[in-house]
Chain A
């Protein structure tokens, strides 16, 4: 594709609901990252995939957060039993994998938990 796409762009959830956020990276990009961006802050690393392998999930805030990339392309970030502090923009980024510089970001999903 032309760029990284994410869906939905906006999600409103009631506290306690489960949500799933989708990321379509640039075709052929090996590395995929998820970040969380709070209002007025820079993105914070959540997790990293190389192809289908999740090599680092150290940034996931709790065990309610789960990410997968089963076929090495599309990735889903799932948040179970959402809480108000989960409200943020969730960004996905990808790179070819030859370098981790110049990450290509999607537009993000803005999650609001009421």
Chain B
């Protein structure tokens, strides 16, 4: 069965540094890989989407890479700020599918 794994431990970083999160998957060939942000007590909020034929995508201070050979996506938050503190979820979607499959998430804490 398909498996999605994100950084098993929480990430604590200093303000201004780059946070790098990983999302690895097995037994799956997603057409789309998405990243969501979730704050405590709130629902996930969509951040970025990358397609299987794309290697990299950027949006402001966020960068996502997608390596279908390694079955891995990396999510970078550059020049991190305390307001970036949240849980980040990766989610996979097949080409003819509607069900998002989520990883467990990685909690990021940015220290001022």
| Residues of chain A whose beta carbon lies under 8 Å from any beta carbon of chain B | 4, 31, 33, 40-45, 48, 56, 59, 91, 93, 100-108
Contact = CB atoms under 8 A, between A and B. Distances in A.
Nearest to A92: B43
B43 A4 contact: yes
* Interface size band for B: 20 to 34
| A interface SS class | loop
Interface of B: 4, 32, 34, 36, 41-46, 49, 89, 91, 93, 97-105
Nearest to B32: A101
Contacts of B93: 100-101
B45 A105 contact: yes
Contact of A107 (B41, B89, B99, B102): B41
Given A100-B93, A101-B32, A93 B43 contact: yes
Given A42-B105, A48-B98, A56-B98, 17 more contacts: A4-B43, A40-B105, A42-B4, A42-B102, A42-B103, A42-B104, A43-B100, A91-B43, A91-B44, A100-B98, A101-B34, A101-B93, A102-B34, A104-B46, A105-B36, A105-B44, A108-B43
